[in-house]
Structure 1
């Protein structure tokens, strides 16, 4: 069972090793990095691979029952390259007769909105997802909600200019945002692989819970011991913040305002011990000690 690594691949590798009988092969560009060595110690076969090298990918997948695939737009910031890589994975899966592929997909926002919104890191995956099904590859698409891990990095609270408190600058207004820890998704993939007849040909939306930004801020305040507030930033102000990808992320949040379907109830069935945001922050509050 090859898994193409990264945050998701590592979590799925750990989940399969703990919750399934599959022999797991973790594919990474660097088998010598600490995270790869950690997976090896757990029992995974760690191999070097590259989504730009078809021959290598084909040799890795040959003889496998199935695979978990992740493509990463942010490796190169090219929708076209992501689509090319994803379609190659679909073609190889079909040619080799894989029995069950799980693809980390999301919606094709540009198509859904009739061209009104473009979210490149969604649209490419959505296009690949459609291609898998067009090619009749036995595939389940897993659409994962916003990572809780973002609150430890890019979405970490920042100190307000006008007071002794912190703010979350996430332009969702009062609309809940689905979330989950990427570290928790492994058991879901193991469960889906154990029940192919239930999930092949379908997509599954994973979310531990949906909270408003004010609710996320309240949880952070509780564990940080400092006041965190929703900055109430507008979408227009957010996309003008000037960091690379600001407009892309603003459009992602615009799409999230439509509440794309994520199934909290099914997620808790597939991942019985999935963590709430409160539990996740309690487990990671050391990340905020220097704020």
Structure 2
């Protein structure tokens, strides 16, 4: 009996890669080669305990990538613009993996991509953490590589971090998210793994496609209402404008404001397809019911 094919999972000790690695390990169809720069991290050690092969490699180091990708059937690739906030570096990292995968004959790459907003809007709007991933998608296509792009929406987990409710001077909490009443797609990053697993198991249906993911599409007021109901706190949409959001005092505020402008155009995110690929993926209501305690210190 032949050994299961191996899938190399980049960012395996992070949110997206960790979700993918765990889903593949639980299913058992594929062996998992967990790629990380930090094999001693707690998350990497846990993946090893679950049966993953842990391999140290760096997206900036070509030799380490050659070694990491030898004899694999598939690859899950995620790049991280926010680590260096350098679009050129991110694009080069993605191209490096594309070239090496192509050279080694990898049969299927699932890339965590996004739209090239600058190209789509003829330069009227640029969102570097989207645009770089869009350029990487385009490069895979130019190579003729067997790639599927999965485009994540806003993570539900962002409500615990960068978009967490803040207390107003009137005593209630507000969500400072400038969507102007337009619904925004969302999804838990933990549910990505089940989607990627399904795609890898049906390459004939998904190679060459860009798949926009979503498990819910709510206005900010609706997100706030769900959060209020589960936490017992009064949480509202602050109705902040794009201009005022740009002036918030945190790194990346202007970048995120442009992202929300793009979200207002309703980019293609397919809830029905997402749930077909991963029937266990959570709605925001379900996610809040499981994570409400994390909001107690908000």
Q: 1:119-158 residue pairs with structure 2 within 5 A?
A: 119-158=127-166
- Alpha-carbon distance between aligned partners in 1 of 2:288 and 2:172, rounded to the nearest angstrom: 18
- 1:289 is aligned to 2:288: no
Q: CA deviation at 1:20?
A: 4.1
- Alpha-carbon distance between aligned partners in 2 of 1:157 and 1:53, rounded to the nearest angstrom: 39
Matching residue within 55, 58, 68 for 2:66: 58
- Alpha-carbon distance between aligned partners in 2 of 1:64 and 1:37, rounded to the nearest angstrom: 21
Matching residue within 214, 230, 237 for 1:230: 237
Contact 1:168/1:213 (<8 A) preserved: yes
Q: CA deviation at 1:34?
A: 1.0
Q: CA deviation at 1:157?
A: 0.4
Contact 1:167/1:229 (<8 A) preserved: yes
Contact 1:20/1:190 (<8 A) preserved: no
Matching residue within 4, 9, 28 for 2:10: 4
| Greater CA drift, 133-142 or 277-286 | 277-286
Structure 1 segments of 4+ aligned residues over 4 angstroms from their partners: none
Matching residue within 194, 210, 229 for 2:201: 194
- Alpha-carbon distance between aligned partners in 2 of 1:124 and 1:185, rounded to the nearest angstrom: 20
- Alpha-carbon distance between aligned partners in 2 of 1:47 and 1:93, rounded to the nearest angstrom: 16
Q: CA deviation at 1:242?
A: 2.5
Contact 1:268/1:274 (<8 A) preserved: yes
* Cα deviation 1:65-117 (Å, max 9, x = unaligned): 01000110011110000000011111011100110001100000000000001
- Alpha-carbon distance between aligned partners in 1 of 2:15 and 2:54, rounded to the nearest angstrom: 15
Q: CA deviation at 1:58?
A: 0.8
Gaps of 5+ in 1: none
| Greater CA drift, 16-25 or 69-78 | 16-25
Matching residue within 46, 61, 71 for 1:38: 46
Root-mean-square deviation (CA, aligned residues, Å) is 0.8
Q: CA deviation at 1:257?
A: 0.2
- Alpha-carbon distance between aligned partners in 1 of 2:77 and 2:225, rounded to the nearest angstrom: 35
Q: 1:1-291 residue pairs with structure 2 within 5 A?
A: 1-5=7-11, 6-161=14-169, 163-291=170-298
Contact 1:204/1:262 (<8 A) preserved: yes
SS in structure 2 of the partner of residue 31 of structure 1: coil
- Alpha-carbon distance between aligned partners in 2 of 1:256 and 1:184, rounded to the nearest angstrom: 21
* Cα deviation 1:244-268 (Å, max 9, x = unaligned): 1111000000000000000000001
Q: CA deviation at 1:54?
A: 0.5
Please give the TM-score of this superposition, normalised by the length of structure 1: 0.98
* Cα deviation 1:210-230 (Å, max 9, x = unaligned): 110001000110111011000
* Cα deviation 1:121-170 (Å, max 9, x = unaligned): 00000000000010001000000111001001111101011x12100000
Please give the TM-score of this superposition, normalised by the length of structure 2: 0.96
- Alpha-carbon distance between aligned partners in 2 of 1:290 and 1:10, rounded to the nearest angstrom: 26
SS in structure 1 of the partner of residue 94 of structure 2: helix
Contact 1:108/1:125 (<8 A) preserved: yes
Match in the other structure for 2:3: none
